[in-house]
């Protein structure tokens, strides 16, 4: 069975990552994001989705765990995470909370 590719892409623009710039990235891909946020220290237990998830961090930080792989991925402002369908993940919100834009393929 092939490994599903989880990708992390740090913000590459010369400018500070803004909500407008990130919305444009989604629009360029034909995706319609929604905004969500969590308080510092909030925890999501391990779970998976039937869809491809694309997340950009707007503010704060969040650490995603990939328990089946023994990996952790810490995301900060402007970072992008792509999780293919079926990849189990959990998450812990950073000390300043987190605000994200998310869309599904």
User: 58-99 pLDDT, tens per residue?
Assistant: 999 999 999 999 999 999 999 999 999 999 999 999 999 999
End-to-end Cα spacing for the chain:
22
pLDDT-derived band at 30 (thresholds 50, 70, 90) equals: very high
Distance (Å, whole) CA 84 – CA 42: 23
Q: What is the pTM of this model?
A: 0.90
Positive or negative torsion for Cα 86, 29, 16, 58: negative
Look up residue 62 and give its DSSP letter: E
Distance (Å, whole) CA 41 – CA 16: 25
Distance (Å, whole) CA 31 – CA 38: 22
Strand, coil or helix: 31: coil
pLDDT in tens, 41-64: 999 999 999 999 999 999 999 999
């Amino acid at each position: 069975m092939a490994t599903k590719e989880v990708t992390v892409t740090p913000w590459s623009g010369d400018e500070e990552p803004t909500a407008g710039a990130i919305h444009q990235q989604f629009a360029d891909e034909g995706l319609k994001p929604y905004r969500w946020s969590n308080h510092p220290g909030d925890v999501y237990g391990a779970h998976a989705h039937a869809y491809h998830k694309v997340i950009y961090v707007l503010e704060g930080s969040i650490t995603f765990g990939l328990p089946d792989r023994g990996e952790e991925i810490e995301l900060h402002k402007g970072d992008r995470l792509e999780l293919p369908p079926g990849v189990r993940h959990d998450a812990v919100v950073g000390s300043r909370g987190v605000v994200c834009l998310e869309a599904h393929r």
